[in-house]
Structure 1
Amino acid sequence: MIARTMALAVAMLGGVTTSQLPEFAQQYRQRLGGAIDALTQVVEEFRADAAIHGLTPGEAIDRLEGSSDRLVAAQGERAQRALDRLANLQRQQEAFRDAGPFGRLAVMMRDLDPQIASRAFEDFEPAVPATMEGAVTAAGGFLTVLFGAGLFGRATRRLRRRRDA
C-alpha cells in the first residue's frame, strides 16, 4: 500500500513537472525573439558598414579574416558567427511559427539553443497549465511515471520472490 501511494505521489510530481514544458517553451520563444532582435541590429550595422565600403557582407568578412592584424581577423570571425547564429535562430523561430501546440515542444527539444535555454531557465517562472497542451503533457508525465513505477515495482517483487525461493 505504501509503495502504491509513493508511486502515485511520484507520478503526480512527474505530471506537474511535465506540465511546465509548454510554459518553458513559451518563455524560451520570448527569449528567442529577443536574441533575434539584438543580433539583427548587430548584423544590420555590419551590413551597412560593408555597403558603405562597397562590399557585400561576405566580402567584408573575408577581408577582415584575411587581415594580418589578429584583432581585425577576430572581428571577422565574430561577424561570421553572428550571421550564422542569426540565420539559425530565425530558422528556429520560423519552425515555431509553423508548428502547432505540441509541435512547438518538439521544435524546442530538437533545436534548443543552449545559451537561450540557460537564460530562460534562470528566469523561469512556473505557471498553471491552462491550455490543452499543458493538460496533455501533465497527463503524459503522470502516466509515464506511473507506468515506470509499476514496472519497477513488478521487477523488484520478482527479484524478492526469486531471492526468497
Structure 2
Amino acid sequence: MSVAGRTAVLGLALAGGLAGSQAPEFAQQYRQRLGGAVDEMRQVVAEFDEDVRRNGLDRDEAVSLYAQSPEAFLKDRGLSMKRLLSRFSTLSRQQAELELAEPLMRPVIVLRNPDQQIVQGAWQIYEPAVPVTAAGAVWAFAGLSLIGGFAWFSGKMLRFLFVNNRRRSEATPS
C-alpha cells in the first residue's frame, strides 16, 4: 500500500476511534435526559392514578371512559393518556436496563431501542468529551478497528480491481 493509502487508512482509523469513543458519553447524556423524562412522566402518571383511585377505577377503566365519551376532546385526551402510559412503561424499563448495565454496554442498550425524542434532545445539546473510562477506551478501540479495518480492506479491494485490471490490459496485445 502506498504512503498516501496508509495515511488515509490511519486517518480514517483515528476518526473511527474518536467517533467510537463518544458512544459512552452520548449514552450517558441520553441516560440523563431519559431520567428527566421518566421523572416528569412519573408525576403525571401519579396524579392520573390518584384521580383514578379516588373515583374507584383502574387505569384501563379510566382510559376506556375517555374513549367512550361523546366529546371529541375527551376521546383525544384518552388517546394521549394511553400513549403517555405506554411510553412511560417503555422508558421506565429502558431506564432500569441502563441503571443495571455495565458502562460498556449502555451504548448498546440505547442503540437497541432509542426513544427518538430523547435522542434528538440529547443530540441537540451533545458536546463531545474525551473518554477517560475503560468503556470509552474500549469503544474507541472498536471504532478505530472497525473503520480502520474497513478502510484497509477497501484499499486492498480497489488496488486489486484497478491495478490488476491495468496489468492485464497492458499484458494483452492489441
Please, what TM-score do these two structures have when normalized by structure 1?
0.96
Distance between the aligned counterparts of 1:93 and 1:161, measured in 2?
Answer: 53
Distance between the aligned counterparts of 2:83 and 2:65, measured in 1?
Answer: 15
Distance between the aligned counterparts of 1:144 and 1:66, measured in 2?
Answer: 54
Distance between the aligned counterparts of 1:104 and 1:146, measured in 2?
Answer: 24
Structure-to-structure mapping, 1:82-121, within 5 angstroms: 82-121=84-123
Distance between the aligned counterparts of 1:12 and 1:132, measured in 2?
Answer: 18
Task: Name 1:70's counterpart in structure 2.
Answer: 72
Task: Name 2:157's counterpart in structure 1.
Answer: 155
1:2-59 C-alpha deviation (Å, 9 max, x unpaired) = 1111110111011001100000000000000000011111111111112222221211
Task: Name 1:24's counterpart in structure 2.
Answer: 26
SS in 2 for 1:128: coil
Distance between the aligned counterparts of 1:129 and 1:59, measured in 2?
Answer: 49
Give the aligned residue type for 1:152.
S
Task: Name 2:172's counterpart in structure 1.
Answer: none
Task: Name 1:10's counterpart in structure 2.
Answer: 12
Moved over 3 A (4+): none
Q: Note the residue ranges of structure 1 that are not aligned, 5 or more in a row.
A: none
**TM-aligned CA deviation for residue 75 of structure 1:** 0.6
Task: Name 2:171's counterpart in structure 1.
Answer: none
Give the aligned residue type for 1:141.
G
Distance between the aligned counterparts of 1:109 and 1:77, measured in 2?
Answer: 28
Structure 1 residue 42 corresponds to structure 2 residue 44:
yes
Give the aligned residue type for 2:30.
Y
Task: Name 1:61's counterpart in structure 2.
Answer: 63
Which of 79, 83, 97 is residue 81 of structure 1 equivalent to?
83
Aligned residues with identical type, % of pairs: 39
Give the aligned residue type for 1:23.
E
Task: Name 1:127's counterpart in structure 2.
Answer: 129
SS in 1 for 2:151: helix
Give the aligned residue type for 1:73.
K
**TM-aligned CA deviation for residue 161 of structure 1:** 2.5
SS in 1 for 2:107: helix
Say how many residue pairs are matched.
165
Q: Tell which structure's C-alpha radius of gyration is larger.
A: 2
Distance between the aligned counterparts of 1:161 and 1:54, measured in 2?
Answer: 79
Give the aligned residue type for 1:64.
Y
